[in-house]
């Protein structure tokens, strides 16, 4: 059984290492970790996922923005937010409320 998690997790007793970033094996290490809870050995591997975000640019390409009005209630503050968003480059301009 493999466990995919944000922390190193023992596959035997499900103990979580809250300091996984400090515990992770080095490149030269074999990845074997002894669980401090159940004292069984298990293998841990750090998986790194890289994502890139690419967006169009209006001004750098001498293109006119295609502004559309938006209006919503902010979930964090509960305040009404108004402004414009470019449909091409996704730039936002907020109105003073």
Examine the domain organization and report whether 64 and 90 are in the same domain.
yes
2: in domain: no
Residue 53 CA, distance from chain mean position: 12
49: in domain: no
Tokens of 63: 């293109």
Note the pLDDT of residue 26. 59
Q: How far apart are CA 78 and CA 64, in angstroms?
A: 33
3: in domain: no
Which domain covers residue 15, as residue numbers?
A: 8-43
51: in domain: no
Does the pLDDT of residue 6 top 80, yes or no? yes
Q: What rounded mean pLDDT belongs to the chain? A: 87
pLDDT band for position 78 (50/70/90)?
confident
Instruction: Read off the pLDDT of residues 29-66 as tens digits, 9 standing for 90 and up.
Output: 678 889 999 999 999 888 888 999 999 999 999 999 99
Provide the number of structural domains found in the chain.
2
53: in domain: no
52: in domain: no
């Amino acid at each position: 059984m493999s466990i995919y998690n944000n922390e190193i997790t023992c596959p035997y007793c499900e103990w979580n290492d809250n300091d996984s970033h400090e515990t992770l094996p080095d490149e030269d290490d074999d990845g074997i970790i002894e669980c401090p809870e159940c004292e069984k050995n298990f293998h841990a591997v750090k998986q790194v996922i890289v994502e890139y975000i690419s967006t169009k640019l209006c001004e750098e390409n001498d293109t006119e923005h295609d502004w559309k009005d938006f209006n919503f209630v902010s979930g964090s503050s509960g305040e009404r937010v108004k402004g414009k968003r470019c449909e091409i480059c996704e730039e936002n301009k907020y109105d003073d409320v």
